[in-house]
Structure 1
């Protein structure tokens, strides 16, 4: 009896171990997690082995399960409509099951007893198809690390109709996408007006989910903890991160949840995707309205690095163009002779792009023959030498005219925009501005636009602007105009720098996150602060998604102490900037009239660029944050990529005036290595290192005073 019991126990243990071994960590190898949409009776299930969402389709559609398949956590406590639409000043639920008496938890046996609301849009039919590309992007034009270049997965479209006479020819479609290899779903709605007259869409909610609270406060706290997931939309602007710029994702109170602990029923446990104002769209007959998209990324723990790696993986999937990372300089002049000299210097050192900076004299709004010819000749010269050329255009933060500028709702006068005055993109002037930029870019052959605005998403109360009606539709209209323009840029293979969070609408790069006046501080302060910016700015951005700054010439003041010119007199600072910028994979705006002034300076730039290009793939891989710069001891970061020969690239910096010698344990889990690693310092002979049970390896590090060192792991 004991022997048979032992055999059974060993069999179960072996099966468990085999299951553990075959269940791959999706951040290391996601090939087993293929999206599918299946129907079991009245349930439609979107699943990929990492996340699943179950929709009951009778007597109406409602999400009855939202599960984190990695942790086994059920993310729902109650059932809500799939969407809401406000048509002709009346709000209607889209789908939903009603009759729950408890909203703090959900028992399976309750679901069959729920009913559809006769006043809601009711499920009619559905289709399942492969995910279609959102933007046209030419992945062959410049260096990138996107793989694949188009997200793969499955899409579900649910069609809803209404029984009433006035709404019978209006169709609401609810769209879902589930992706291969990542615990991510997206959702949005579209509305078809098949009537013979316009209808007014005053508002909508494209997602409504009742999540369990993660904290129970009797009294209301200043801040609520959110469920273990990342949610954002492609309707984002007004910041350098998704948290700063999110304008459509809200965590709200649920008035139906009357059994919650909070005495005033103020627990923020209802996720809604909606607009603060609008859209106030008059939808013409035979036309379709489409909302923004919401993205929901489930996370499997509380580790900050792991959760941010998941977010970065999401951006690599949804915005593959943001993995493009050309090596560029910011040129402060448009004098043709000096531009050609800068292009020649780029060719000589391995740079790939010249950006005509703010203050250089470039004016893309000037469509005169002379201006077009001048910059076309320069673009032709750049292209003949294998260099891309582009430039800067300011939209926001300036005043045009009282008839053009954003009108403040409270005063009825220009002003009140995020940065004071700003033109309204939905004015006739705004339309003309974009048409001038398109004409300039096409006629000159420019490869890049650095677009300073209209990122604030300012509301405009004007009732005389040609392309919007008033305050309620102004932000929605301006966002759509911006989105369409950025999609046009992608179609034309024009790289887009924008100091805003438009990645999911075609932007390639945004600022790393810095205070501009800090670049007027003394050079030594800039270096450590710049490395802090890199450390902080790469938690939720990949290296290619951000730019930082290097003031070769004076910027925001500071005089000679703040600038690198003359370059040959400040080679130590120049090298320090390049080492940490290129070592992190973050391109910088090297803003000045030239890249080098002497042969010695040229040699330094050549060395740094050659090093960067040698390790370019791993340096464009995600960063593991080792220690934030504090000026008192070493700091560092590490790139990891289990798909490459170089599994990791580690950089250590010493901001102190003394040499540092120390044994440092480097965490190598996300390299995919599980037993041994070959570690070499500065490309020297590798040393075999055994990984410990935490997948770490201890290495002896020597960092010179005010210097740096680096290691490659294979």
Structure 2
């Protein structure tokens, strides 16, 4: 019920506006005129490098458009800022169906809308001609100004060019537009009227209907008797559906708030439903009541009725009318009635506002006619039902202090948008500034509330819904090795119960894109301070094809986190003692590996701050540098217990994600990060493999130095690790993190595999490895995921599972190298050595050389051709339409016999047309004619082997 009422309130308030409020008019200057047809991109953005530049335009109607020829977001500036369009220009599809606030904040416990318009007649679609007639929400912060600028870097990145075959721009190319909102005097005054606590108002009358007071004048239909005092129960009404039964009394002139608690019981009335009717001079009346006959709340005023959903028969509800009079409403006599409803009498949701020209003289409680009056001669027909008036509360002036709302005049909110050249994607975030002196707390921020067109028509309930064509990603993400991490923490597709004209009868269609931390922020904001929300990226799909959607996502990550293109060749040395590490460094230098990680279980201890350890680590780093090798090690963060004082304190019934975890804002957590900063500043190490990274555990402790309690615990802990990872990027420190921290600086995560599978017999590992890569690269680029090669035993499996002695298992070792380097995917080669004989060394170097020769195309996107199943060939194709090598096809034969196959391949994403030059295993090239972009390639592959085919113009 609560969600329904909230949604109703959000919809209904769009029909109201503040009398006398003068919105500031925002001019958009001499922007170029928007011409969608001319600006629409004529080429495929996934294969063409000539990107349409992002820019700001204006329409003939005076609206602002942010567009790059692939996607556009349109804003109205007057009477307030609001998104009125989000268009996919590739498919010519409008995605926004209704206007929403630009953001929603909770500050000191108060909910505050930012921007938005009211008055849209229906939620299925949004017509441009409706916009001029829509109004500014009288309780929403007002748009004051806007600025535009090139995109700025989110944090400093000291790139390692030697590991990346593409030197992508940072910051990305594009434009940022920032809209600044504040509360004007009318908003502050309205907010105080609306939010004044009832407990601080003067109580003028409280009637719990224990006994019927003689002050009530009881009016009933002529055939009814004692109907307002049925069986001696005051306020109980037993009457036909269309009967008139109410109590009337004069309304004190000091009345500001009317609250009536009532239950319709078995009453089946519609227009005659029980509620509050107010009488005005001149025999005018208004009625706010329950309408159980059609399961609605209903308001009648000025000759018009409005129905609101969310009513549940049999429940008790609090109906509340706030009377606002005086100069704020336009004149001393004029005013307005704000009608709201609640289930618990504490949290009310506004349904509507009604303009009045005078103060009501009398109040009626119970069943009146549909207009709030007493129809003479009423026949009192319909089924007899029983309902109850449970309480009436009349409240006067607010006796509390208005200082609770002083933060409003000091609250500055800026809504930021970024649009990227050559990518149908928009980023959004919110910054908050305290321009005053007194601290306030930002409890939470909803940085996006986007009412989107639904993706399907489903009348009944569904277990799995088709989602709108938007891939939403946030940098407030953790607890997953997949991109749904953002949805675990703050991104959701929600239902919109205000969308009452949708096809689904239960109003359950997911058609609201919301971005908001699910556990809150609790961010203190001192005077003069500011902070930013998480960032959201909205990538607009232009197809339902899985491969094209995956290509879109991969280009998105390369654009907004280009450090993921760094793809060093890595060895995990199994001992952190000096001699084994130096031996591993020497071998890496010999065969072309580029990085050594002192792996888990090696004895490497980043928390050992002794001068001796730090000096030893510095000396090993210097030795590695002299050989051209990067060096670093492994550290475990979460998934371990520290102490009762330092571990997370979970709410009742909850457990940490990994069973145990320290709180990052405890004394231990603060000290741990100090040790990490000190280690890298002292030793100069190049990388960190950070296992068990912060998974999003909350903490209810009130004694940890870095957070106050449960509300701010997740936001503060995430901020701690986010700050550290960003600092690492500024120092050029490479980050392996088995979690979705790419947007905060992580360079590589797990491709996706079950660790115990590396304890299976070797022949099983070969196929499973290729399956993991095939499945993992739909959403990841090859460089974003690592795999695993157990040179020595890992988890178990003994001699059948491991590769040592390496020279005794050369065919298997070579297959693993071919699998990985052929996919452009680096693995954790974990053991004491990479080779143990000249033939082993030659084989390893052969595949490293192959990778480095074709590094750019092997690091590029994978097109999925046939998934490995061990029953026939499997194949993937790398595509790089902007490179010299346009494609590289890898075909594997897992069978014990040679095969010849004709494979149909579409070279569309290589950018090649009509003709291609093909070389097999780096042999002589031959030309082949294409059927458009398609070809049929005949391949012959020996048993248990593979071939690659280089594709060039």
**Shared fold by TM > 0.5?**
yes
State the Cα distance separating 1:130 from its structure 2 match: 0.7
Q: What is residue 86 of structure 1 aligned with on the other side? A: 106
Q: What is residue 43 of structure 1 aligned with on the other side? A: 63
State the Cα distance separating 1:455 from its structure 2 match: 3.0
Counterpart check, 1:155 vs 2:166: no
Q: 1:405 aligns with which of 631, 647, 650?
A: 647
Q: 1:317 aligns with which of 559, 563, 581?
A: 559
Q: What is residue 454 of structure 1 aligned with on the other side? A: 693
CA distance in 1, matches of 2:454, 2:888: 40
Q: What is residue 467 of structure 1 aligned with on the other side? A: 706
Q: What is residue 861 of structure 2 aligned with on the other side? A: 622
CA distance in 1, matches of 2:178, 2:766: 51
For the residue of structure 2 that corresponds to 1:578, the secondary structure is: helix
For the residue of structure 2 that corresponds to 1:77, the secondary structure is: strand
Q: Deviations over 1:471-512 (max 9, x none)?
A: 111110011111100011011110000000000100000000
For the residue of structure 2 that corresponds to 1:158, the secondary structure is: strand
Counterpart check, 1:684 vs 2:928: no
CA distance in 1, matches of 2:471, 2:105: 25
Q: What is residue 452 of structure 2 aligned with on the other side? A: 211
Q: How does 1:411-560 map to 2 (within 5 A)?
A: 416-560=655-799
CA distance in 2, matches of 1:294, 1:339: 42
Q: What is residue 518 of structure 2 aligned with on the other side? A: 276
Q: What is residue 908 of structure 2 aligned with on the other side? A: 669
Bigger mean CA offset, 197-206 vs 182-191: 197-206
**TM-score, length-normalised on structure 1?**
0.95
8 Å Cα contact 1:205-1:273 kept in structure 2: yes
For the residue of structure 2 that corresponds to 1:142, the secondary structure is: helix
**TM-score, length-normalised on structure 2?**
0.72
State the Cα distance separating 1:21 from its structure 2 match: 13
Q: Deviations over 1:40-64 (max 9, x none)?
A: 4531110000000000010011111
CA distance in 2, matches of 1:20, 1:184: 16
Q: What is residue 131 of structure 1 aligned with on the other side? A: 151
Counterpart check, 1:53 vs 2:76: no
Bigger mean CA offset, 506-515 vs 135-144: 135-144
CA distance in 2, matches of 1:20, 1:372: 58
8 Å Cα contact 2:576-2:598 kept in structure 1: yes
Q: 1:222 aligns with which of 451, 454, 463?
A: 463
Q: Deviations over 1:436-474 (max 9, x none)?
A: 011112211110000113331111111111101111111
For the residue of structure 1 that corresponds to 2:97, the secondary structure is: coil
CA distance in 1, matches of 2:81, 2:757: 54
For the residue of structure 2 that corresponds to 1:481, the secondary structure is: helix
Q: Deviations over 1:352-374 (max 9, x none)?
A: 11000000000000010111111
Q: What is residue 197 of structure 1 aligned with on the other side? A: 438
8 Å Cα contact 2:39-2:68 kept in structure 1: no
8 Å Cα contact 1:30-1:182 kept in structure 2: no
8 Å Cα contact 1:233-1:249 kept in structure 2: yes
Q: Which runs of 5+ in 1 are unaligned?
A: 1-17
State the Cα distance separating 1:169 from its structure 2 match: 1.7
CA distance in 1, matches of 2:826, 2:74: 43
8 Å Cα contact 1:390-1:448 kept in structure 2: yes
Q: Deviations over 1:58-85 (max 9, x none)?
A: 0011111110001000001111111101
CA distance in 2, matches of 1:289, 1:148: 26
State the Cα distance separating 1:146 from its structure 2 match: 3.6
For the residue of structure 1 that corresponds to 2:133, the secondary structure is: coil
1:699–1:258 CA distance, 2 compared to 1 (3 A): same
Counterpart check, 1:636 vs 2:878: no
CA distance in 1, matches of 2:486, 2:762: 31
Bigger Rg, structure 1 or 2: 2
1:487–1:201 CA distance, 2 compared to 1 (3 A): same
Q: How does 1:25-40 map to 2 (within 5 A)?
A: 25-40=44-59
8 Å Cα contact 1:146-1:321 kept in structure 2: no
Counterpart check, 1:577 vs 2:596: no
8 Å Cα contact 2:40-2:69 kept in structure 1: no
Q: How does 1:55-70 map to 2 (within 5 A)?
A: 55-70=75-90
State the Cα distance separating 1:32 from its structure 2 match: 3.7
State the Cα distance separating 1:674 from its structure 2 match: 1.1
Q: Deviations over 1:388-440 (max 9, x none)?
A: 100000011111101001111106xxx81001001110111101101101111
CA distance in 2, matches of 1:134, 1:204: 19
For the residue of structure 1 that corresponds to 2:842, the secondary structure is: helix
CA distance in 1, matches of 2:648, 2:763: 41
State the Cα distance separating 1:19 from its structure 2 match: 9.5
Q: How does 1:228-377 map to 2 (within 5 A)?
A: 228-246=469-487, 247-377=489-619
CA distance in 1, matches of 2:668, 2:700: 16
CA distance in 2, matches of 1:186, 1:30: 21
CA distance in 2, matches of 1:521, 1:316: 34
8 Å Cα contact 1:527-1:577 kept in structure 2: yes
Q: 2:949 aligns with which of 672, 687, 711?
A: 711
For the residue of structure 1 that corresponds to 2:924, the secondary structure is: coil
In the comparison of the two structures, how many residue pairs are matched?
693
Bigger mean CA offset, 654-663 vs 307-316: 654-663
For the residue of structure 2 that corresponds to 1:316, the secondary structure is: helix
Q: 2:935 aligns with which of 688, 694, 697?
A: 697
8 Å Cα contact 2:161-2:167 kept in structure 1: no
1:20–1:97 CA distance, 2 compared to 1 (3 A): closer
Bigger mean CA offset, 130-139 vs 114-123: 130-139
CA distance in 1, matches of 2:715, 2:820: 37
State the Cα distance separating 1:33 from its structure 2 match: 1.1
CA distance in 1, matches of 2:871, 2:173: 47
Q: What is residue 178 of structure 1 aligned with on the other side? A: 419
1:19–1:48 CA distance, 2 compared to 1 (3 A): closer
CA distance in 2, matches of 1:408, 1:226: 33
Bigger mean CA offset, 139-148 vs 96-105: 139-148
Q: Which runs of 5+ in 2 are unaligned?
A: 1-36, 189-404
8 Å Cα contact 1:203-1:278 kept in structure 2: yes
1:308–1:148 CA distance, 2 compared to 1 (3 A): same
